[in-house]
Each structure stands twice: as structure tokens, then as C-alpha cells.
Structure 1
Amino acid sequence: MTEQRPEQAQLGHEEVGAGAVTQTEEHAAAADERQNSLWSDAWKALKRNPLFWIGSVLMVLFVTMALVPQLFARGADPRACSLTNSAEPPSAEHWFGFDQQGCDYLANVVYGARNSLAIGVVAVVVILVLGVVVGALAGYYGGITDSILARIADIFYALPLILGALVLLRSAFDRPGPIAVAVALAAFGWMTAMRLVRSQVIAVKSSDYVAAARAMGASGRRIMVRHILPNAVAPVLVYTTITIGVLIAAEATLTFLGVGLQRPAISWGLQINTGQNLLQSAPHLVLFPSAVLTLTVMAFVMMGDALRDALDPRQRS
């Protein structure tokens, strides 16, 4: 039998190691190429989808309204009120008329976009953080970790979003502000994001490039951040876009029920709540904030639907 020299053995190990590294890099490159192809094909599909453009225009309009309300309020101050104008109907000078306190209603509806959108965005950010972290841990480690985290999610699933947020706001806050409302909605809205991330992580972690990275000694955190999460983000992005609209509607519902934002805050839910008592004599007090709320929710839902269709390969066949 031919004796293998130490130099030859070392060279053989180095060649094996170099080959494994090359293989890992090839798998990672292939995964990145598939991911880039996915987003490239998705963008081509989005450009052909009228729902995407309608939703985009509406979303940009309402985000701009929230950030720079002075552009849309025609110079009116939402808190400059005169009872002599109480519940006056729309006119050429005041397009939305006046509310019960004699305040310019267009300015109030425009400034109401800020709180509503801020609550939706903050709540979605909290939902994403909770959903991604908990879902990634449950999907990657599995076993007892997955069982415990899944049971915790089931406990929160026992209470519907509106009911859970209502109970939390009523028991924990006297006069909840936008952050409190956003946290209450996020506390009972993160479970679907968690399950989406968990299912995607379970599917991706068995891929060849993940196995190659694990064989090379990559840490669990590096595998998660570098290889798994970037390939599991598509359904979460769709869910996030739709959920912003759902949360904006949920905030208006809580405020309408008297457990969300309180005066002197300006909110579409507060305006609808106040206007319901004058629905017959001054229907514009309910009509205008309801219409703007509906269009805002519809914009995010249409964006989410367009993203879902674009990112689903079955829709492009």
C-alpha cells in the first residue's frame, strides 16, 4: 500500500475545502439569481397591472397628504372654528363645508390622514418585527421551540383583532394616543405574519445552498440573515401592504367605538363618530371622512393584491 505523505494529505484537505467553498458560493449565487429573477418578473407584471398604478397613485396622494397637509387644506386651520358656521354644507369656498364646531371640514379631513396613516405604519412595523423574529425562530429551530411559539400564537389568535385591541386599550390606557393604539393593534395582529415567515423558513431551510452553508460551519444567525430571510420575504411583503389598510380601518373602528384616539386629536374615526348624530341634517360630516378612509384602505389593498399576483408564479404562467 502506498503511504500518503503529510503534504499530500494536507493538499487533499485543502482541495476538498476549496471545493466545498466553491460549491457553497455557487449555490448562493444561484439562489441570488433566482431571487433577482423573481423580483424582475414581478416588476414586469406590476407594470402591466392597472390595480398597481391606481393603488400607487392613491397611496402617494394620501401619504403626501399626511406629510404635507398644508398643500391640501387650502390654507385653512383645522382648529380655527366659529359656531356661526356650525354644520354648514359644502360650498365653492369651503369644499367640505364645516363641522359641528364650525371648523373647516376639508382641513380636518386632510389633517386626519396623519394620525390614521401613522398608526397603520407603526403597527405594521411592530407586527413585522414580532412576526419575522418569532416566525424565523420557530421555523428554523423547530421541535420544542416551534411548539411553544406556535401555542403562544394560538393564544393571541383566540381574541379577534378589534376585540383584543379594545380590551387592551380600555383596561390599560385612560386617553390612548397614536402609539398606544398602534401597539394595541400590533399586539393582536402579528400572528399571521409569524405563520407566513415560519412556513417560508421551513421551506427554504432545506435548500441545497442552506445545507452547504451549514456544512461549511456558518452560524445559525448568518444562515438566517444571509440565506433564508431574503428568500422568504415575498409573502410577508404582500401581507404587510394589505395589513396597513386593514389597520387603518381598525383604528377608525376603535376610535368610532370611543376607545381609540380622543379629542383634541384629529382622526377620521373621531369625525365619523361625531357626524353620526347629524347624519340626516348634515350628511357631509360622515360622507367625506368615510370616503377618504375607504379610498385609503382600498389603495393599500389594491397594492397588496397586485403584489400577490406579481409574486405568484402561477399568475404569470
Structure 2
Amino acid sequence: MPDDLQPLQQGPLQRGPGNTIAPTGAGGAMDLAVSEAETLERPPGTGTIPGGPPGGPGAKPRSLWSDAWRELRRNPVFIASGLLIVFLVLIAIWPGLIASGDPLSCNLAKSQEGSQPGHPFGYDTQGCDVYTRTVYGARASVTVGVCATLGAALLGSLLGGLAGFFGRWGDALLSRTADIFFGIPVVLGGLVFLSVITSTTVWPVVGFIVLLGWPQISRIARGSVITAKQNDYVQAARALGASNTRLLLRHVAPNAVAPVIVVATIALGTYISLEATLSYLGVGLRPPTVSWGIDISNAAPQIRNAPHMLLWPAGALSLTVLAFIMLGDAVRDALDPKLR
């Protein structure tokens, strides 16, 4: 038989990937295929090909919230602002952790004295420890900011979401009502509204901020709901017979809440500064409540003689507002895919 008609000589068999039997030896094409298969063999326990998507082709895709949390953990601005906010919340709840004195205990003999051992921030005009009052002032500011933000976010989201989902006369009524509140100057409204209230608690200030803060969030919630309800999955659920309540709670609200969270986070810092402004003008929080705005107001006339009285409460207020604004910016960047 001629040499070119001789059958292809095969070498011994060997076990290839997946326990398959593959010949070796003179069958060069088969050897090459086995070699290529070995280089592409999946690592044990991973279920994925190196370089492929995490979790394999059948893995569940990450949601918007998981992607946002993944981005936030890598953002140093979020970490720094988050740690500062956690610290502020802790001293607002337990100020005794870092301040053992009484913010209302004063000694006129030490009026406007500077830093001393055990009293690093000095004393104010009444002889009260500035360090202790600065620490205890975080409680009122954080309480007003958090409660006002929650109230404005809940009220604005509810009204704006319902108006955007159902539309018609309810939407028109909400828009005109919001326009009325937008036309009220915040500081002037606070002077008029809070000047007739004699309560020394934080709740009148919280109520006033919610009253003027909900229209902004309602506008954001309304626009977000209008955009979300036009998506194909909402139309498909409606065609399958889903009720309006199910559409709103199950399909529209979870996909429209992200812009509201971003605006509310940034507004929290703004509300804290608004409380300090109203307290500085004498219509916000009142003594004996300890507030950064009250301390700044008392220290302003003595800024030349005792600048330390103004420096520390004003610095604490600025850091707090900056921390919440930075947190809001980080959350916005994480929740907006176009900014990644």
C-alpha cells in the first residue's frame, strides 16, 4: 500500500479535560485541541472562565443599589464624610462620651477666659465651658436636621409620587400649591412663623422646615415617578392586570426613590445651617436649649475680645454641614450611572 494511503498512526490514549479520552502522539491536531482546552479550563470552585463576568453567565445581575454600594465603598469622600457623621451622631446621642461637664454650669469669674487645662476651648461671656457647649450643641442641630429631612422627604415623596402617578387635577393642584410655598422667603417666613411661638423645644423649628422643605422634594419625586411609570416593565405589569397600588409600590417607587435620597441627603446639611441661622436671629431654638446658632449669636459681639467663643461652634457647624453635603455628592455620583 502506498505511503500516502497508510492509515493515520495514533499514539496512546490520555485523559483530557472533563475526564474525556483523547489520543496523543502522531495526531497533532488532536494534541493541539487538548492543549487549548487545558489552557481554557475553568479554575476549580469558581464556575467562571478567567476574564469572564463575575458569577458566570447564569449569575444574577447586580442591582442599582448593590452597584451603588460597591462604588461608595471605593469613594474616599464617602468614607471620610460617613465617619464624621457617625461621630457626630454618637456625640449627639451620648455627649458624655467626650464631655463630662454640664453645658449650663457657668462661672462668671472665668468670663471670656482662654484655653486652660481641662477646658481646651476656653469660656464664653457667661463663664460656661465652650468645649462642653460645643459638644452638646451637636444634639440639637443633628436632631433638627434629621427630623426635618425625614418629615420633608416623606411628605414630599408621598404628595409628589401620587401627583406624578395619577396626574390630572391632583397634579395641577400640587404644582400650584408648591409654587406658593416656593415664593415664601425662608428667613422671612421663619421670622414671622417662629416669632409667635414661645416653645423652647426643637419641634417648632422642625415643623417650619418641613413646611417649607417639602415642595422641593415633591418636585423631584413627581418627575422621577413620571419617568419611571413610562418604562416598559410598568406597562407590561399594567397589561397583565396589576392594580395601581401594586404598580406604584412594587414597580414605580423602588425605581424612582434614588433622586429623592440624593436630594434629601444634601438638604440635611442645609437644614442644619438653616436652624443655626434662625437661632442666630433669635427665632429658632431658645435657651436653655444648647445650640451652635445660639452660641454664635452670643459670641458675635465679642469677636474682637474673645474670638475663641465664635471659632469653635462656628467650626463645628461648618464641618457638620460640609460632611452632609459631601455625603450627598458621593451618593449622587454612586446612584447616577451617567456619572461613573
For 1:176 and 1:165, locate their aligned partners in 2 and report how far apart those are by CA, in whole Å.
Answer: 15
Q: Which runs of 4+ in 1 moved over 3 A?
A: 33-36
For 1:222 and 1:67, locate their aligned partners in 2 and report how far apart those are by CA, in whole Å.
Answer: 38
1:113 and 2:138 aligned: yes
Residue 313 of structure 1 corresponds to: 337
Q: More helix by proportion, 1 or 2? A: 1
Residue 194 of structure 2 corresponds to: 169
Per-residue deviation, residues 99-118 of structure 1 (Å, max 9, x unmatched) = 11111111111111111110
3-state SS of the aligned residue for 2:213? coil
8 A contact 1:249–1:293 mirrored in 2: yes
2:207 to 180, 183, 194: 183
Structure 1: runs of 5 or more not aligned: 1-32
Pair 199,35 (structure 1): closer, same or farther in 2 beyond 3 Å? farther
Residue 28 of structure 1 corresponds to: none
8 A contact 2:160–2:222 mirrored in 1: yes
AA at the equivalent of 2:300: Q
Superposition RMSD on alpha carbons, in Å? 1.7
Residue 96 of structure 2 corresponds to: 70
For 1:306 and 1:50, locate their aligned partners in 2 and report how far apart those are by CA, in whole Å.
Answer: 9
8 A contact 2:200–2:289 mirrored in 1: no
1:76-95 paired onto structure 2 within 5 Å:
76-95=101-120
Residue 285 of structure 2 corresponds to: 261
Report the alpha carbon displacement of residue 313 of structure 1 after superposing the two structures with TM: 1.0
Residue 73 of structure 2 corresponds to: 47
Report the alpha carbon displacement of residue 176 of structure 1 after superposing the two structures with TM: 4.8
Residue 262 of structure 2 corresponds to: 238
8 A contact 1:130–1:190 mirrored in 2: yes
AA at the equivalent of 1:105: V
Pair 263,39 (structure 1): closer, same or farther in 2 beyond 3 Å? same
Residue 127 of structure 1 corresponds to: 152
Report the alpha carbon displacement of residue 191 of structure 1 after superposing the two structures with TM: 1.1
For 1:245 and 1:269, locate their aligned partners in 2 and report how far apart those are by CA, in whole Å.
Answer: 14
3-state SS of the aligned residue for 1:189? helix
Per-residue deviation, residues 166-192 of structure 1 (Å, max 9, x unmatched) = 322124x13352011011011111111
Residue 316 of structure 2 corresponds to: 292
Structure 1 stretch 207-216 or stretch 143-152: which is displaced more? 207-216
1:203 and 2:255 aligned: no
Pair 176,168 (structure 1): closer, same or farther in 2 beyond 3 Å? farther
For 1:35 and 1:87, locate their aligned partners in 2 and report how far apart those are by CA, in whole Å.
Answer: 62
Please say which structure displays the higher CA radius of gyration.
2
8 A contact 1:46–1:307 mirrored in 2: yes
1:214 to 234, 238, 242: 238
Residue 155 of structure 1 corresponds to: 180
Report the alpha carbon displacement of residue 268 of structure 1 after superposing the two structures with TM: 0.3
8 A contact 1:138–1:198 mirrored in 2: yes
1:103 and 2:108 aligned: no
3-state SS of the aligned residue for 2:294? helix
Residue 305 of structure 2 corresponds to: 281
Structure 1 stretch 192-201 or stretch 33-42: which is displaced more? 33-42
3-state SS of the aligned residue for 1:190? helix
1:141 to 166, 172, 182: 166
Pair 200,66 (structure 1): closer, same or farther in 2 beyond 3 Å? same
State the TM-score, normalized to the length of structure 2.
0.80
Per-residue deviation, residues 223-255 of structure 1 (Å, max 9, x unmatched) = 111111111111111111111100000000000
Pair 190,233 (structure 1): closer, same or farther in 2 beyond 3 Å? same
For 1:303 and 1:166, locate their aligned partners in 2 and report how far apart those are by CA, in whole Å.
Answer: 30
AA at the equivalent of 2:140: N
**Does 1 or 2 have the higher relative contact order (CA < 8 Å, sep 6+)?**
1
AA at the equivalent of 1:84: A
For 1:192 and 1:120, locate their aligned partners in 2 and report how far apart those are by CA, in whole Å.
Answer: 16
Structure 1 stretch 247-256 or stretch 206-215: which is displaced more? 206-215
AA at the equivalent of 1:312: D
For 1:139 and 1:168, locate their aligned partners in 2 and report how far apart those are by CA, in whole Å.
Answer: 30
How many residues end up aligned between the 2 structures?
Answer: 282
For 2:190 and 2:281, locate their aligned partners in 1 and report how far apart those are by CA, in whole Å.
Answer: 12
8 A contact 1:254–1:260 mirrored in 2: yes
